[in-house]
């Protein structure tokens, strides 16, 4: 089964270091930043920031979510 998670990495003047948005089925779920340090990355949930015409059901396996988080953490850590 194909994962409905996707990740957008970006650099923004609001953040000192590279940041990532995790999306689920096209809807922004959360953002991970490393402004507090490589070992103290922060996660901010804001799935209501973008309203899609068809809202996906935000229900998924926790193991899939943790896997995406670990992948993002590893990738962001390589940018610092």
| Beta bridge pairs of residue 75 | none
pTM, entire model: 0.82
pLDDT above 70 as % of the chain: 90
56 DSSP 8-state letter: P
Q: At 14, is the secondary structure helix, strand, or coil?
A: coil
Give dist(CA 72, CA 79) in Å, integer: 11
Domain boundaries, the chain: 5-77
Sign of CA dihedral 48, 11, 33, 58: positive
Residue 73: pLDDT band (50, 70, 90) is very high
């Amino acid at each position: 089964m194909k994962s409905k998670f996707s990740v957008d990495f970006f650099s923004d003047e609001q953040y000192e270091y590279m940041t990532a948005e995790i999306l689920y089925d096209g809807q922004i779920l959360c953002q991970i930043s490393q402004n507090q340090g490589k070992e103290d990355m922060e996660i901010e949930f804001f799935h209501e920031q973008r309203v899609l015409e068809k809202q996906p059901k935000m229900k998924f396996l926790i193991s899939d979510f943790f896997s995406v988080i670990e992948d993002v953490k590893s990738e962001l850590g390589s940018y610092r």
